[in-house]
Amino acid sequence: MIATLDGGIQYKGDTGALGYPGDHALMTGLRSLADLVVMGAATVREYDSWPDGAPPLAIVSRSLDLDFDGGLFDDGRTIVITAERAPADRLEHARERADVLVTGDASTDIGAALDELARRGHRRFLCEGGPRLLAQVAAAGWLHELCLTLSPMIIAGGASRILNGPDLDVPQRMRLIHAVPDGDYLFTRYTIE
């Protein structure tokens, strides 16, 4: 995740405004260490293809308002994580194009979904957000490590923080593993205690 000095994850709806090439290179490196990249549908909708060599993508979506005929589903490896009450016609389309995992009634139970993916042999999940998904990952006890880039900007406004959801039951204390400056940017990595 990347955030401004005042905690915002995007400026006027644009996350790219915060980053720079070094940060993108870091994201590519992090993907190479994972065996599955998990993303919320709102973040996924900003992509129209998935890079060769990256681990498979798992998309969390209740609406299934996704372009199943588009580039994200071309390689046949994409996983769709959804809920019982997903629209039936889109669910059928999803099943033709992806491996579909259904957990939860009105919305996906994120903890149960990640448990199931782990049972299927996935070991290193990289959650690239967005903030609404990441809050649920943390609430489910699945946020073991946080890679946070501090972008040297202040933006004010109403941008989300990197986790956007209800208060956690208890604050999750984390341990700083490293803080690496790159010009005015700062790459940090925290793990749970």
Closer by beta carbon to ligand NAP, 8 or else 56: 8
CB 72, CB 48: distance < 8 Å? yes
Closer by beta carbon to ligand NAP, 110 or else 122: 110
The site map against ligand NAP for 125-154 (x = CB under 6 A) is ---xxxxxx--x------------------
CB 151, CB 16: distance < 8 Å? no
Task: Select the residue interacting with ligand NAP from 27, 41, 146, 147 (CB under 6 A).
Answer: 41
CB 185, CB 23: distance < 8 Å? yes
Sole residue written with tokens 């016609």 = 89
CA torsion angle 191 148 54 94 (round to 10): 90
C-alpha to C-alpha distance for 55 and 134, rounded to whole angstroms: 19
Residue 4 lies near ligand NAP (rule: CB under 6 A): no
Residues in region 66-95 near ligand NAP by CB under 6 A: 83
CA torsion angle 9 10 16 19 (round to 10): -50
CB 16, CB 43: distance < 8 Å? no
Task: Select the residue interacting with ligand NAP from 28, 32, 49, 63 (CB under 6 A).
Answer: 63
Number of residues that bind ligand NAP (CB under 6 A): 28
Closer by beta carbon to ligand NAP, 12 or else 193: 12
Task: Select the residue interacting with ligand NAP from 26, 31, 38, 108 (CB under 6 A).
Answer: 108
Q: Smallest distance, Å, CB 123 to ligand NAP?
A: 22
C-alpha to C-alpha distance for 17 and 193, rounded to whole angstroms: 32
Footprint of ligand NAP on this chain (CB under 6 A)? Answer: 1-2, 9-10, 15, 18, 40-43, 46, 60-63, 65, 83, 107-108, 110, 128-133, 136, 164
